[in-house]
């Protein structure tokens, strides 16, 4: 049995941590819930017991024995407190962007690069939600055929922007002005996630590019991305265009993906079968459809990839990392 801390317990991902730990019967001895001073004192339920949320501060962590600390409290909190949890012996699995590109910190998707867990020094980073579902779909292709170039186009749900993103969609449907996004999201598409950089890309696009390279251990991989926010409550969709290094048989590709861990192939155009956000909401797996050859280039392939961004794209991936560590012990 293990002592588990959830940091950022009252947020969307924190609540999903609690839900998934219960669903999967994670072997918990003691559970500690942390959040901001504003949320301290709230009561949250895990299984049949009530837990009091503690303020995230030095005083409340220094005397605790913690095996795993699941973080979803934002980059600033992770930068300060992840090392402090590591110092008291916890393995921190962090959902923010604070540690993802640190060369001393593994960036892990269990279906893709589980071997990288072995070299952690107390902190393991969870990739960006849009990166996680993409690399789950791409890894079998990368291993069998090699990849020359990737073009990402994402259609990301408002839940990826937190509670205020959800409220912007709900309020916008009533005709109210947005508070989170620069323009109304209801009935609209915003090709703008995170802030713009000097070269015209957004930080979200840069994250997908850099994280994919790190996870696949290929800094020379050619990747470009356009990320967009769409008026969907939950689950991200992605159109992924891939140029493979080797030729392929399309039926072989479908079989390969269908037999790969964490992937559900849902693809039958004759029956209008393809993944949608509503269908995938609440599911653990990454769904892949619209699998077809791109005839405009040699060895080109198109994929439509959909996953629950709060579940597999955040909380579940972190819990799976912890489960894998327990199994490997």
- Residues making up the binding site for NADP(+): 10-13, 38-39, 159-160, 309
Write out the two tokens for 266: 């849902």
Catalytic residue among 57, 120, 217, 236: 236
Write out the two tokens for 164: 């205020």
Annotated catalytic, 236? yes
26-45 burial, b for 16+ CB within 10 Å, e for fewer? bebeebbbbbbeebbeeebe
Please enumerate, by residue number, every residue annotated as part of a binding site: 10-13, 38-39, 100, 156, 159-160, 229, 309
Please enumerate, by residue number, every residue annotated as part of a binding site for substrate: 156, 229
Annotated catalytic, 57? no
DSSP conformation letters of 200-239: S-BHHHHHHHHHHHHHTT-TT-EEEEEEEE-S-SS-EEEE
Please enumerate, by residue number, every residue annotated as part of a binding site for phosphate: 100
Three-state secondary-structure class, residue 318:
helix
Closest CA to 105 of 119, 84, 86: 119
Catalytic residue among 57, 129, 192, 217: 129
The span from the CA of 28 to the CA of 8, in Å, is 18
User: Which strands, in side-by-side order, build the sheet including 123-125?
Assistant: 54-55, 28-35, 2-7, 68-71, 91-94, 123-125
Q: State the residue for tokens 């560590």.
A: 325
Contact predicate 225/238, CB 8 Å: no
Compute how many other C-beta atoms are within 10 angstroms of the C-beta atom of residue 321.
Answer: 23
How far CA 250 is from CA of 142, 243, 256, 259, 292, in Å, comes to: 15, 14, 10, 14, 7
The catalytic residue positions are 129, 236
């Amino acid at each position: 049995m293990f002592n588990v801390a959830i940091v950022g317990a009252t947020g969307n991902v924190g609540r999903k941590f609690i839900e998934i730990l219960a669903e999967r019967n994670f072997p918990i001895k003691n559970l500690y819930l942390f959040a901001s001073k504003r949320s301290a004192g709230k009561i949250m339920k895990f299984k049949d017991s009530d837990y009091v949320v503690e303020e995230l501060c030095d005083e409340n962590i220094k005397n605790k024995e913690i095996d795993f600390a699941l973080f979803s409290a934002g980059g600033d909190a992770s930068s300060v407190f992840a090392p402090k949890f590591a110092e008291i012996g916890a393995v921190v699995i962090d959902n923010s962007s604070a540690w993802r590109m640190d060369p001393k910190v593994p960036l892990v998707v269990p279906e893709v690069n589980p071997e990288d867990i072995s070299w952690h020094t107390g902190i393991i980073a969870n990739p960006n939600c849009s990166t996680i579902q993409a690399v789950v779909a791409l890894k079998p292709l990368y291993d069998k055929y090699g990849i020359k170039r990737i073009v990402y186009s994402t259609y990301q749900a408002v839940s990826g922007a937190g509670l205020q993103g959800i409220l912007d969609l709900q309020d916008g449907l009533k005709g109210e002005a947005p508070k989170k996004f620069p323009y109304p999201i209801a009935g609209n598409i915003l090709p703008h996630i995170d802030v713009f950089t000097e070269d015209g890309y957004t930080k979200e696009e840069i994250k997908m590019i850099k994280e994919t390279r790190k996870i696949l251990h290929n800094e020379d991989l050619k990747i470009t991305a356009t990320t967009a926010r769409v008026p969907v409550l939950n689950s991200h969709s992605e159109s992924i265009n891939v140029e493979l290094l080797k030729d392929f048989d399309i039926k072989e590709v479908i079989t390969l993906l269908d037999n790969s861990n964490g992937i559900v192939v849902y693809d039958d155009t004759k029956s209008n079968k393809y993944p949608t956000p509503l269908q995938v909401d609440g599911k653990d797996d990454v769904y892949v459809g619209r699998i077809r050859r791109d005839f405009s280039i040699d060895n080109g392939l198109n994929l439509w990839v959909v996953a629950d961004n709060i579940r597999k794209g955040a909380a579940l991936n972190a819990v799976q990392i912890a489960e894998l560590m327990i199994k490997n012990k």
